[in-house]
């Protein structure tokens, strides 16, 4: 171990002050067992060295080896560790760790030289020697390294204060050290003895360097950089431990009898190990959490002093100087000029330091006043209400904007409990959110947003949105009135979910309610039902008294529906004249009981909706067709609503104004029709349709007056469908998918039938058979854009068929058909020379309206009248009356479905001019039809007879005769 005269040589080896060393005792995070094991190993090695030194290592030789080469090995380990860490990092503190490595290396070299003399050569170390040079080189690199790690001031005043702080610490320590030991060394140098000057210089150099190092350690502790704080604190602790060992060694009590390997060496040894551990062990410890507030980059760097410990530094320095002077006075010695000079400079530095602090405080006060005025003007001028609540929930500050927002003065709200101002229904939610927010880490969640109802001065509740921040254990609330926004959002939400005319829930909201009923706590309640309601005859109301009256009727129907359902049920308007109701079940498992109960509710709704409506001073009547479907186990909302829709259409098909319960066969019927419609569409492309013609015969002469075109479909499976079967499917597809692909397929079938009939009729006309062809067409299809007016004229022109050789048999059975459009369309066709026959006359409500408004040339009696005309006296009178009307209007009449001879005779006796049925011939293919046309007549049961009534020729062709303007005389309306 190195010694120098009576003072000896200090040992350098590793870093940290007491506060920095305390960081090592902080518990590491879970999972850091490796770091804890390293710390335990470090403690065990240092403790083992201390125990060995306390026991003098068992022998003087071992003590010298451990005291010299042991310290050299520890210093070398610290040098290698710091150097390796410096190469591994890419930061501005790399030079500091390289300097620490060089400092430790100098300490290791000094101890190695000392051991060379004591252990290897067995000689006393020369005074001075290379060891002294190495030991003197320990402190300067460490001091420079600490300066590198220190937080650099950004202002000139900051640099001045840094120098003053260093001198306050260093000067006070110099005063005390000079009084204790350094004065004696200086007197020895002045004695003039041989070798006294070098020894005195060395005796003064070591303590002075230690004082400088201690000063930098303390200053760095107050001004250390924020980066890698754990490693820096550990390094500071290692240097502090080394300086403390040096200070103990230079004391008169230990320096005289010190030998290598004693207990004091344990301090140098532990300091070196701690410095070796500093850069690597600190990596395993998480950095301390960032405190709330401004970030490090935003914190002011110009303040020379921050915190309580730096503020006490000048007073501690003055106290240390005083102790140094008192030591000389109490010891009875004359006060040394060095002590007086150093003390004066410390006092002068203290005065300057305090002056700078005073100026800094004045500037800080002015800056704070300016900022306070600035933020006060912002707060008071803000339209938002800013409130500060104490941790107890009491309002301590309320901005003046409260008067305009809440209608209450700010002074009135100060001192009020915040909880008393929040709506009771919102208070629990607000308290829960505030507690959650306060429990969250500030760095993860600096603010939160709360929306609640707040009491205003006029007793109303305002919707308030607040941004909440933490403030000294309490809260800062930045609140604004969002009542109008909430009201607008509620209106938009209501508009999106309700029908604008009736204010009932629309289809989207109704579907969501059905979904909630099927998936909520009532999901096991299978008595829940959905009702689909359609107003029968509503289209006629729109057509007769106008859409405004129709809207009034819908509003009144919605009111009746809403008043008729129970409180927990939902009434909705799905669109047009369709309504729906969701009937929540009572949990009954008895299917019969639930069907009876819901059926009773549906009947009550039907009766209520079918009562007369008073609209615009007139009494209007509509009926209600209602379909009911129950929520069977496992059903989906879409399937439940589909079932109710099917049941409603079944109610309309069954006569309207009735209630129909859904049955599984309804869906099976839909599937069957859909399959048949699909096969029908395929048949159009595969050419499976054949066109047949049935002769229309004069009942007076038996001559063929016209032919009625009809289609037959022989499927690929060999099944022969009659026209009634596949046309019913086509019409169903047309009604169910007016705008879809099924509608286009049925339109394609209609076009095919018309084109084939015209083409074959033109061929027969060129062959000399001048008989008209009749093609049946529904009013809906005639009004469809798929059959434009120009296409009929182009078709006749393309095939060369005379204009009077085409008759359209019009079927008017749907009350939704607009007669105005139909009248315009038929009038245009009539001007082209196309004959118009009213098909199905005698059935349906539209017959009289059609006769009154449409340009009809002939009437075709419905098959239902013809079938019983010979047996039923009632039908006989009805048919006779209808035929009398036709003859009075100058129209020809055709009886459809004449299958029996007695029907022929009865119809002829009543004045019917023509007939069509198996009594004469069934549908014929083109070859048989031409043979029949060559023959020209069919035998008439009862023989030929003259017509009973005038109005048309008794026989011959049904070619339409035109006047000068090609118009059919229509009776006045």
Is the four-CA dihedral 148, 149, 152, 157 of positive or negative sign? negative
Q: Which of 460-469, 578-587, 939-948 has the lowest mean pLDDT?
A: 939-948
At 3-39, the pLDDT tens digits run 333 333 333 333 333 323 322 233 344 444 556 777 7
Q: Using the predicted structure, report yes or no on whether residue 697 has a pLDDT greater than 50.
A: yes
At 41-82, the pLDDT tens digits run 888 888 888 888 777 777 777 877 887 888 888 888 888 888
Of 594, 597, 626, nearest to 609 by C-alpha is: 626
Q: How far is CA 790 from CA 825, 848, 943, in A?
A: 11, 29, 45
Average of per-residue pLDDT across 162-170: 68
First to last CA, the chain: 138
Compute the distance between CA of residue 468 and CA of residue 445 in angstroms, rounded to an integer. Answer: 11
Q: How far is CA 494 from CA 266, 438, 491, 516, 582, in A?
A: 82, 36, 5, 18, 19
Helix axes 637-653, 664-686, angle to 10 degrees: 80
Compute the distance between CA of residue 735 and CA of residue 652 in angstroms, rounded to an integer. Answer: 13
Average of per-residue pLDDT across 278-295: 52
- pLDDT of 281 reads 67
Q: When comparing pLDDT for 853 and 192, which is higher?
A: 853
Compute the distance between CA of residue 399 and CA of residue 738 in angstroms, rounded to an integer. Answer: 65
Query: pLDDT above 90 covers what percent of the chain?
Result: 19
Of 476, 514, 467, 78, nearest to 272 by C-alpha is: 78
Q: Which of 283-292, 549-558, 630-639, 927-936 has the lowest mean pLDDT?
A: 283-292
- pLDDT of 721 reads 62
Q: How far is CA 902 from CA 336, 863, 869, in A?
A: 159, 15, 9
Q: How far is CA 298 from CA 156, 161, 724, in A?
A: 20, 22, 89
Q: Using the predicted structure, report yes or no on whether residue 213 has a pLDDT greater than 70.
A: no
- pLDDT of 785 reads 62
DSSP string, 462-488: EEEEEEEEEETTEEEEEEEE-HHHHHH
Q: When comparing pLDDT for 796 and 197, which is higher?
A: 796
Q: Using the predicted structure, report yes or no on whether residue 559 has a pLDDT greater than 60.
A: yes
- pLDDT of 970 reads 30
Mean pLDDT, the chain, rounded, equals: 76
Compute the distance between CA of residue 856 and CA of residue 829 in angstroms, rounded to an integer. Answer: 11
Compute the distance between CA of residue 532 and CA of residue 578 in angstroms, rounded to an integer. Answer: 7
Average of per-residue pLDDT across 92-120: 83
Of 414, 339, 73, nearest to 181 by C-alpha is: 339
Category of 261 on φ-ψ map: left (φ > 0), alpha (ψ -120 to 50) or beta: left
Average of per-residue pLDDT across 179-207: 52
At 474-528, the pLDDT tens digits run 899 989 888 888 898 888 888 899 999 999 999 999 999 999 888 865 555 567 8
- pLDDT of 958 reads 57
CB-based burial, 935-969: b 16+ in 10 Å, e otherwise: eebbebbeebeebebebbebbebbbbeeeeeeebe
Q: When comparing pLDDT for 911 and 236, which is higher?
A: 911
Q: Using the predicted structure, report yes or no on whether residue 747 has a pLDDT greater than 90.
A: no
At 289-344, the pLDDT tens digits run 444 444 443 344 444 444 445 556 666 666 666 666 666 666 655 666 666 777 77
Write a three-state SS string for 256-297.
Answer: CCCCCCCCCHHHHHHHHHHHHHHHHHHHHCCCCCCCCCCCHH
- If DSSP codes are grouped into helix, strand and coil, which group holds residue 709? strand
Q: What is the DSSP letter of 152?
A: P
Q: Using the predicted structure, report yes or no on whether residue 111 has a pLDDT greater than 70.
A: yes
- pLDDT of 948 reads 36
Q: When comparing pLDDT for 6 and 360, which is higher?
A: 360
Compute the distance between CA of residue 351 and CA of residue 348 in angstroms, rounded to an integer. Answer: 5
- pLDDT of 972 reads 32
Instruction: Find which of 323-332, 451-460, 554-563 is predicted with most confidence, using mean pLDDT.
Output: 554-563
At 836-868, the pLDDT tens digits run 998 877 665 556 777 878 888 888 888 888 888
Task: Provide the pLDDT confidence category of residue 253 given band limits of 50, 70 and 90.
Answer: low
- pLDDT of 727 reads 55
- pLDDT of 336 reads 65
Compute the distance between CA of residue 772 and CA of residue 764 in angstroms, rounded to an integer. Answer: 10
Of 196, 207, 241, 143, nearest to 8 by C-alpha is: 207
Q: Using the predicted structure, report yes or no on whether residue 654 has a pLDDT greater than 60.
A: yes
Task: Provide the pLDDT confidence category of residue 629 given band limits of 50, 70 and 90.
Answer: very high
Instruction: State the pairing for strand pair 578-583/613-615.
Output: unpaired
Q: Using the predicted structure, report yes or no on whether residue 608 has a pLDDT greater than 80.
A: yes
Angle at 428 between CA 425 and CA 430, to 5 degrees: 100
Chain centroid offset of residue 435 CA: 26
Name the strand (E) or helix (H) holding 664: helix 664-686
- pLDDT of 829 reads 85
Compute the distance between CA of residue 346 and CA of residue 314 in angstroms, rounded to an integer. Answer: 9
- pLDDT of 297 reads 39
Q: Using the predicted structure, report yes or no on whether residue 964 has a pLDDT greater than 70.
A: no
Q: Using the predicted structure, report yes or no on whether residue 283 has a pLDDT greater than 70.
A: no
- pLDDT of 384 reads 84
Compute the distance between CA of residue 715 and CA of residue 844 in angstroms, rounded to an integer. Answer: 33
Name the strand (E) or helix (H) holding 680: helix 664-686
Average of per-residue pLDDT across 765-789: 81
Looking up tokens 């068992």, which residue turns up? Answer: 58
Q: Using the predicted structure, report yes or no on whether residue 635 has a pLDDT greater than 70.
A: yes
Task: Provide the pLDDT confidence category of residue 468 given band limits of 50, 70 and 90.
Answer: very high
Task: Provide the pLDDT confidence category of residue 645 given band limits of 50, 70 and 90.
Answer: very high
Of 547, 132, 69, nearest to 265 by C-alpha is: 69
């Amino acid at each position: 171990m190195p010694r120098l005269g009576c003072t000896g040589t200090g040992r350098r080896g590793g870093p940290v002050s007491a506060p920095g060393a305390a960081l090592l005792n902080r518990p590491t995070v879970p999972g850091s067992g490796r770091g804890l094991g390293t710390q335990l190993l470090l403690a065990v090695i240092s403790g083992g060295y201390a125990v060995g030194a306390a026991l003098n290592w068992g022998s003087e030789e071992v003590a010298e080896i451990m005291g010299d080469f042991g310290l050299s090995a520890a210093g070398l380990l610290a040098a290698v560790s710091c150097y390796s860490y410096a190469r591994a990092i890419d930061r501005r503190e790399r030079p500091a760790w390289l300097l620490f490595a060089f400092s430790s290396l100098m300490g290791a070299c000094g101890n190695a030289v000392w051991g060379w003399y004591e252990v290897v050569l067995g000689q006393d170390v020369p005074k001075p020697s290379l060891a002294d040079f190495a030991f003197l080189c320990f402190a300067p690199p460490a001091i420079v390294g600490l300066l590198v790690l220190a937080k650099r001031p950004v202002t000139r005043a900051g640099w001045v204060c840094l120098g003053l702080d260093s001198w306050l610490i260093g000067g006070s320590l110099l005063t005390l050290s000079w009084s204790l030991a350094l004065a004696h060394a200086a007197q020895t140098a002045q004695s003039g003895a041989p070798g006294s000057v070098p020894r005195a210089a060395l005796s003064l150099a070591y303590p002075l360097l230690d004082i400088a190092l201690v000063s930098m350690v303390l200053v760095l502790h107050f001004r250390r950089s924020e980066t890698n704080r754990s490693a820096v604190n550990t390094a500071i602790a290692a240097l502090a431990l080394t300086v403390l060992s040096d200070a103990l060694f230079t004391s008169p009590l230990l320096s005289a009898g010190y030998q290598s390997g004693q207990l004091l060496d344990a301090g140098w040894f532990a300091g070196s190990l701690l410095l070796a551990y500093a850069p690597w062990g600190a990596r395993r410890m998480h950095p301390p959490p960032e405190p709330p507030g401004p970030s490090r980059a935003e914190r002011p760097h110009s303040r020379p002093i921050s915190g309580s410990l730096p503020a006490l530094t000048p007073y501690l320095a003055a106290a240390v100087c005083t102790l140094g002077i008192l030591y000389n006075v109490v010891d009875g010695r004359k006060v040394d000029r060095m002590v007086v000079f150093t003390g004066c400079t410390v006092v002068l530095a203290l005065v300057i330091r305090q002056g700078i602090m005073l100026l800094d405080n004045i500037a800080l006060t002015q800056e704070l006043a300016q900022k306070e005025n600035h933020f006060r003007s912002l707060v008071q001028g803000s339209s938002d209400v800013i409130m500060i609540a104490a941790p107890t929930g009491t309002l301590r500050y309320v901005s003046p904007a409260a008067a305009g927002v809440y209608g209450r003065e700010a002074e009135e709200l100060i001192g009020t409990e915040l909880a008393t101002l929040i709506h009771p229904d919102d208070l629990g939610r607000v308290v829960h959110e505030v507690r959650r927010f306060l429990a969250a880490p500030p760095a993860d969640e600096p603010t939160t947003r709360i929306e609640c109802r707040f009491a205003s001065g006029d007793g109303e509740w305002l919707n308030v949105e607040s941004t909440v921040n933490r403030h000294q254990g309490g809260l800062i609330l930045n609140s604004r009135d969002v009542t109008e926004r909430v009201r607008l959002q509620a209106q938009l939400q209501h508009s999106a979910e309700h029908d604008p005319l009736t204010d009932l829930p629309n289809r989207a909201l109704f579907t969501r309610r059905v979904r909630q009923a099927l998936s909520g706590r009532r999901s096991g309640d299978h008595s829940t039902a959905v009702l689909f309601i359609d107003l029968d005859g509503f289209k006629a109301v729109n057509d007769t008294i106008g859409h405004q009256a129709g809207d009034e009727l819908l509003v009144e129907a919605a009111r009746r529906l809403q008043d008729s359902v129970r409180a927990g049920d939902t009434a909705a308007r799905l669109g047009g004249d369709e309504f729906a109701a969701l009937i929540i079940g009572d949990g009954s498992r008895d299917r019969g009981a639930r069907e009876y109960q819901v059926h009773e509710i549906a009947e009550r709704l039907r009766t209520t909706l079918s009562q007369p409506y008073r609209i615009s001073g007139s009494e209007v009547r509509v009926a209600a067709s209602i379909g009911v479907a129950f929520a069977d186990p496992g059903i989906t909302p879409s399937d439940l609503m589909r079932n109710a829709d099917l049941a409603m259409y079944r109610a309309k098909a069954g006569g309207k104004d009735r209630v129909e319960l859904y049955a599984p066969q309804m869906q099976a019927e839909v599937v069957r029709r859909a399959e048949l419609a699909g096969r029908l569409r395929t048949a159009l492309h595969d050419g499976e349709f054949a066109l047949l013609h049935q002769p229309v015969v004069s009942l007076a002469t038996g001559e063929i007056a016209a032919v009625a075109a009809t289609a037959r479909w022989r499927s690929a499976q060999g099944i022969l469908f009659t026209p009634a079967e596949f046309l019913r499917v086509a019409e169903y597809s047309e009604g169910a998918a007016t705008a879809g692909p099924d509608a286009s397929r049925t339109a394609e079938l209609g076009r095919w039938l018309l084109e084939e009939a015209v083409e074959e009729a033109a061929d027969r006309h060129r062959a000399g058979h001048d008989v008209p062809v009749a093609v049946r067409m529904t009013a809906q299809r005639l009004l469809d854009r798929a059959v434009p007016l120009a296409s009929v004229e182009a078709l006749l022109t393309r095939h060369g068929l005379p204009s009077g050789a085409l008759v359209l048999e019009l079927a008017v059975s749907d009350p939704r058909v607009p007669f105005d459009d139909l009248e315009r369309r038929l009038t245009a066709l009539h001007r082209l020379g196309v004959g118009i026959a009213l098909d199905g006359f005698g059935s349906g409500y539209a017959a009289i309206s059609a006769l009154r408004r449409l340009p009809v040339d002939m009437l075709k009696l419905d098959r239902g009248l013809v079938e019983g005309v010979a047996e039923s006296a009632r039908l006989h009178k009805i048919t006779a009356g209808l035929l009398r009307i036709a003859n009075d209007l100058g129209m020809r009449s055709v009886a459809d479905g004449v299958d029996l001879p007695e029907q022929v005779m009865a119809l002829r006796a009543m004045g019917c001019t023509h007939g069509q049925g198996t009594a004469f011939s069934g549908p014929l293919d083109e070859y048989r039809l031409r043979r029949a046309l060559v023959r020209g007549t069919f035998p008439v049961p009862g023989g030929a007879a003259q017509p009973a009534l005038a109005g048309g020729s008794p026989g011959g062709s049904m070619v339409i005769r035109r006047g000068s303007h090609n118009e059919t005389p229509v009776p006045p309306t």
